[in-house]
Amino acid sequence: MCDTFVALGNATNDGSVLFAKNSDRQPNEPLLLTHIPRKKHPPKSNVTCTYITVEQVDETYALFLYKPSWIWGGEMGTNEYGLTIGNEAVFTKEKVNKTGLLGMDLVRLALERCQTAEEAVHCITDLIERYGQATKNRLRTTIHF
């Protein structure tokens, strides 16, 4: 499982916030740091995530995303508003869904659509309610802001 570390401004010498996360991927799996620019999208358009297609918003924000090469979403990222999100896998006894959004898709969608952590919580909750969350091996995702 992954580890996430956050140090808020009151815990650093210069008042900066630090966010760090490891990614428990396969040893030779490529991970990419990708810049995704701000974009405007046509009305009623869709976006294809890792396994499913969802409704697109009118405009998406610029972000940097750290991602496995084969996944649309990402392990962690930060957007032009300073919103930073990381994905963590957790074990669950809940039923496994074969279709839906991956936790990494939710990270990217929230970074593209939200300016604050509060907005991101509402966005992710809405997306899971509408499209479901795909999982495998009894793993669920938790999101860290």
User: Could you count the other beta carbons within 10 Å of the beta carbon of residue 63?
Assistant: 24
Residue 115 and residue 82 in contact, taking contact as beta carbons nearer than 8 Å: no
What are 122's two structure tokens?
């509402």
C-alpha torsion angle, residues 87, 133, 36, 117 (rounded to 10): -60
Q: How far apart are CA 50 and CA 141, in angstroms?
A: 15
Q: Burial, 4: exposed, middle or buried (Cβ in 10 Å; 0-12, 13-18, 19+)? A: middle
Residue 2 bears catalytic tag: yes
Q: How many residues are present in the chain?
A: 145
For residue 55, how many other CB atoms are within 10 A of its CB? 11
Structure tokens that stand for 21 in this block: 């996360």
Q: Of 2, 49, 114, 123, which one is the catalytic site residue? A: 2
Active site residues: 2
